[in-house]
Amino acid sequence: MLVLTQGDPSGIGPEITGKSWHALHKGGPAFAWIGDPGLLAAHAPVQPIHDLAQAGAVFGHAVPVLPLPLVAPAIPGKPDRRNGPAILDSIRMGVDLALRGQASAVVTNPISKDVVQSADFTHPGHTSFLAELCGVPGQDVMMLAGPSLRVVPVTVHVALRKALDQLNTELIVRTARTVARGLARDFGLLAPPRLTVAGLNPHAGEGGLMGREELDIIIPAIEILRAEGLDVTGPLPADTLFTPQARSRYDAALCMYHDQALIPIKTLEMDEGVNVTLGLPIIRTSPDHGTAFDIAGQGKADPSSLCAALHLAARLADNRRAASTAHPV
């Protein structure tokens, strides 16, 4: 059974959850929602449950809901910081159920990073928060996966200036190892994963003429990874890395900063793109888009990416279970 967090209650999460249930309630994958039942009731039939084990019997006729009431009314398009703790509690509860083996995976609805910030919560999104909750801080890797492209931002939610300072050989090596393992174990790639690494500078630095990061940081990382037996190409100029021909030559592209990775996947596969967190002891996926406050409450939200996230979570969980049965740790 998958668990789905409520996300920001003023965004499109409730609407796309209801639409996803309508699309999936006959054939699955089945999920239980962790949130305020009243929030979802406008979009689908709901049935509160007290134990996740009850969810399977409910999913065919209603969304099973593990109730987590909001403190402030959820007004579409008008996020309210008072609901921040409930948004975070939904994520905590989902992770806890997955860590205890009761949920097969956690799927998260979008949150506004800004709305949940407080003295106690300074994560720039789910990804590093999930790693902390799972007891593996710093081991999280963000991947955006679609039918024809998988991208991994090596530096993530940080100002571009700071991203350049954060980039180092060790970070690229560590990220690539996690990606290779995730592709083999969770995505079930049968052949050794083919990774490619984007350059940072125009024309991948043009031999140092347009920047030295390729020579000083990226090439040394690629050499370490190749010495470990990984299939890694690069650094390749980012401007031609996402053409159809180029995409056919790799299983995942490591990108040096957030937008280098997310612009191509959202342009090519906004509807089917899924955000996956690698490096965790649990499976977590999410739609690739955000809270879409601008259209919340208008009935216009497209549930495709959430449906894709639910399908992918179920597939990754099956693959990981099969891999752990074949190679018990």
Ligand X SMILES: NCC(=O)COP(=O)(O)O
Ligand Y SMILES: NC(=O)C1=CN([C@@H]2O[C@H](COP(=O)(O)OP(=O)(O)OC[C@H]3O[C@@H](n4cnc5c(N)ncnc54)[C@H](O)[C@@H]3O)[C@@H](O)[C@H]2O)C=CC1
Among candidate residues 221, 219, 194, the one with its CA nearest the CA of residue 207 = 219
DSSP secondary structure code for residue 62 in this structure: S
Rounded (10°) CA dihedral 21, 304, 320, 144? -150
Structure tokens at 281: 């002891």
Report the amino acid identity of residue 28.
G
Q: Does 80 bind ligand Y (CB under 6 A)?
A: no
Q: Does 126 bind ligand X (CB under 6 A)?
A: yes
- Least distance from C-beta 276 to ligand Y, angstroms? 11
Among candidate residues 180, 238, 245, 250, the one with its CA nearest the CA of residue 214 = 238
266 marked as part of a ligand binding site: yes
* d(C-alpha 117, C-alpha 79), whole Å: 13
Residue in 275, 276, 282, 314 binding ligand Y, rule: CB under 6 A: 275
43 marked as part of a ligand binding site: no
- Least distance from C-beta 149 to ligand Y, angstroms? 17
Q: Does 112 bind ligand Y (CB under 6 A)?
A: yes
Q: Does 178 bind ligand X (CB under 6 A)?
A: no
Alpha helix (H) residue ranges in the chain: 13-24, 37-40, 55-58, 84-99, 113-116, 126-133, 160-166, 169-185, 213, 219-227, 244-247, 258-269, 304-326
275 marked as part of a ligand binding site: yes
Residues 245-284, one symbol each (x = binds ligand X by CB under 6 A, - = not), give -----------------x------------x---------
Name which of 122 and 324 has its Cβ closer to ligand Y: 122
Q: Does 76 bind ligand Y (CB under 6 A)?
A: no
- Least distance from C-beta 30 to ligand X, angstroms? 23
- Least distance from C-beta 112 to ligand Y, angstroms? 4
Residues 294-323, one symbol each (x = binds ligand Y by CB under 6 A, - = not), give xx-----xx--x------------------
List, edge to edge, every strand of the sheet that includes 105-107: 46-48, 63-67, 31-35, 2-5, 105-107, 284-287, 274-278, 141-146, 149-153, 252-255, 194-198, 231-236
Q: How many residues bind ligand X (CB under 6 A)?
A: 6
Query: CB-based contacts of 324: which residues, under 8 Å, 6+ apart?
Result: none
157 marked as part of a ligand binding site: yes
Strands 46-48 and 63-67: parallel
175 marked as part of a ligand binding site: no
Q: Does 289 bind ligand Y (CB under 6 A)?
A: yes
Structure tokens at 8: 């920001």
284 marked as part of a ligand binding site: yes
Among candidate residues 108, 107, 1, the one with its CA nearest the CA of residue 51 = 1
302 is in the binding site of which of ligand X, ligand Y, none (Cβ under 5 to 8 A by kind)? ligand Y
From the list 39-47, 87-95, 142-150, 289-297, the region that binds ligand Y by CB under 6 A is 289-297
* d(C-alpha 312, C-alpha 186), whole Å: 10
Residues that bind ligand Y (CB under 6 A): 12, 16, 110-114, 126, 275, 286, 289-292, 294-295, 301-302, 305
Q: Would you list which residues are annotated within the binding site?
A: 126-127, 157, 203, 258, 266, 275, 284
Residues that bind ligand X (CB under 6 A): 125-127, 262, 275, 286
Q: Would you list which residues are annotated within the binding site for substrate?
A: 126-127, 266, 275, 284
